[in-house]
Structure 1
Amino acid sequence: MEPLKLKVSYAPFVRSKDSIESVMYNVAVALLPATLVSIYFFGWRALLVTGVSIVSSICFEWAIDKIRKKPTACLDGSALVTGQLLALNLPSGLPLWMVIMGAFVAIVIAKHLFGGLGFNIFNPALVARVFLLISFPAAMTEWYAPFSVDMQTAASPLGILKTDGLQALAGFNTLDAFYGIRPGSLGETSILALLPGAAWLLYKKYITWHIPFVFIGTTMLFTGIFYLIDPLGYASPLFHLLTGGLVLGAFFMATDMVTSPLSLRGQIIFGIGCGVLTAIIRLWGGYPEGVSFAILIMNALVPLLDRWDVSEIKAKKQPSIKAA
C-alpha cells in the first residue's frame, strides 16, 4: 500500500469562486479611473511613469519566478496591480530609473523575499514608496502642477501646511481638491476619480467597509478634535480628507487581502490604528503625509491581531472544568 499523503496548506481555508486573476484584474480596473485622470492632469509624464512602473513590476516578477524555479505568475495580475499602485504613489516628474528601482523593491524585496504572493507581511507598493521617499526625498516631494506645459513645480497642500502653516492656505479650494486640480502624487489628487473604483471593490465584495471607513473616520475625528481646540492652528478634517493619499490608501492599500486582518474586530482595530497614526504624523511628524507609514506600521501588527482572534476562538471552545 502506498503511504497516505496529506496536503498541508495555510489559512485561511475559505474557498471562493474568484481566482487570483479575476480579483487582481478587477482591482486593476478599479484603479483605471484614477490612472486615466492622472494622465489627463499630468500629461505624458504620468503615462510614462505608470507604464514603466507596470512593465518593470511584471518583468521583475517574471525574473524572480525564473530564479526561484517556480511557475511563471507574472501575468496573474498581482504584479500589474503593484505597478499601478506604485505609480499612483509617485510624482509625475520622478526619474524613470527611480521608478524601476521602486518596482524592484516592491516585487523582489517586499514580496518575494517573504515568499511571494500571499506570504508578504507588508504592502509591496507602500514599501517601495517609503524606500524611495527616504532615499530620494527631494525627487519624491517635487510635485508638478496639473496641466503644466513647462513642468512647473508647486508645493502640495500638506507640504504647504507643514512648512508655511495654515495661513498660507487661505486660497485653498475644496472643490478643486476634490476634483484633483492640485499638486501631488498621480493617484492621490482626484478623490472623484477614486470613488468609482472604491465603489466597484465594495460591490464585488473584494473589500468591506470596515477598514476604509474606520480609517478615514478616525483620521477626521482625531484632526477634528484639534481643529475645534485651535481652528487657527490646525487644518479642518475636510482638508485632511481631500488632501494627500488618505482615500487612496484607505480603499486600495489598507484593504490589501494579504496584509490586512481577517476578523471584523481586527479590521476595526487596524483602521483605528491607521487613522490615529496618520493624524499624528500629519499634525506633528517630520513628514507632511503619514498614510504610507501608518499602513506599514499596522501591517506589522496584523499577525498579532489574527493570532489574538484565533486564541480567543480556541479558548471559547475549550470545555470548562468545574470543581468537584
Structure 2
Amino acid sequence: MNAMTGLPLVGVSIVATFVVLAAFLWVRGPSYRSGSFLGIATASAVFAVFSSLLYVVYFSLEQAVWTLAAGDAAMVLAPAMLWVAVGALNDRRPWRLWVVLSGGVAMFVCSILLSETVSSGIKILLLIAGCTLTAIEARIGRARATSGTLAIAATMVGYALYSVGRAIFLAIDGLYDGIYAQYFSTGPTTIAGVLAVILLAFSVLAAARDERASRRVQQVGTLDRLAVRAREMLAEQGSVSWRVATVDELELIRESFGAEYIDEVNTALVAACTRSVAGDAEVGLIGPGRVAMVCPVAAREVPADELRQLFAQSSERLRETYVPDLEVAATTIESAVVLDSVVAHG
C-alpha cells in the first residue's frame, strides 16, 4: 500500500469515527437504558475505527512496529469489548472486561515479538473468537429480546465469516501473495471493518434503547396533555370528569402472554375508550393498561361491561386469546387543587 491509496483510507476512518461518535454521544436521552452497555459499546467502536487508522498509518506513512502492534491490539479489543457490552445486558459479571483488556495487552506483545505473519494469524483467530462470542451472547438471555441485538449478531457473524476467509488464505498464500493480498489486505479489511462498525453503531443504539423508559416519557407527555385539556374544561364549565379505565391482573397477563401482548392491550384499550366517549373528550394512555378520559361531567358514563365489549372488538388478537376484565373509576373535579392531586396520582 502507498500514500495514494492510504490517505483515502485515513479519510474513511476519520469519517467513520465522527459517524460513530455522533451516533453514540449525540442521541443519549431518557429513553436509553442506564448502565455500562452503551459506554462499553462506545469503547468497542472507537477501538475498531482507530485500529483501521493505525494500520493505514503503519503501511502508508511510517512503519513503526508499535503502530502495527497497537492496531492489532485495538482490532482484537473491538469485538471482545462488544462481547463484554452485550454481556452487560445479560447481567454478566465484570471479570470479562479484565480478561479482554489482558488479551489486548497480550496481542500487543505478540505483535512486537513475533513475525507479522504469525501475529496476523493469532489476531485473526482472536477476531473470529470475539465475533462468535458476541453473536452468541446477543442471542441468549435478556439480550435476545432486546431490539438491535439481532442486527449485532448478524453483523458479527458476517465479519467472522470474512475473518475465516482471511485465516484460510493467509495459510495458503501468506501475507503478500494471491487471494489474501488482493481481497484481505489492509485496504479491503479497512473498508470491511469501517462498514461493520457503522452498522454496529446503529444496532447498538437500537439495543440500548429502553422501551420501558421511552414509554414512560410518552406517558408523562400524555398525562400533561390530558391535564391541560382538563383545566380548559374546568375553566369553561366549572367541573370536569376524570375517568380511568384499568386492565385487571396486568402482571399475570404479562407473564402468561408476554410483553407484546401488553402492547396489544394498551392499543385496544385506547381505541375502546376513544369510541366510548363524545367528540370533545380527551383520551390517552397514562400507564401500562391504564387509560384516562377527560370528559364533561354530563357525558354518559360507560359501564365496565360495555367498555370491555368495545375493548374486545378493538383487537382480533385479544378476542382469539384472552380478553381481561376492566375497572372504570370516575372522579368529578370542581377545583384546580383537586385536579392537580388527581394528575399527580395518575
TM-score, length basis structure 1: 0.32
TM-score normalised by length of structure 2: 0.30
Higher strand fraction: Structure 1 or Structure 2? 2
Q: Which has the higher helix share?
A: 2
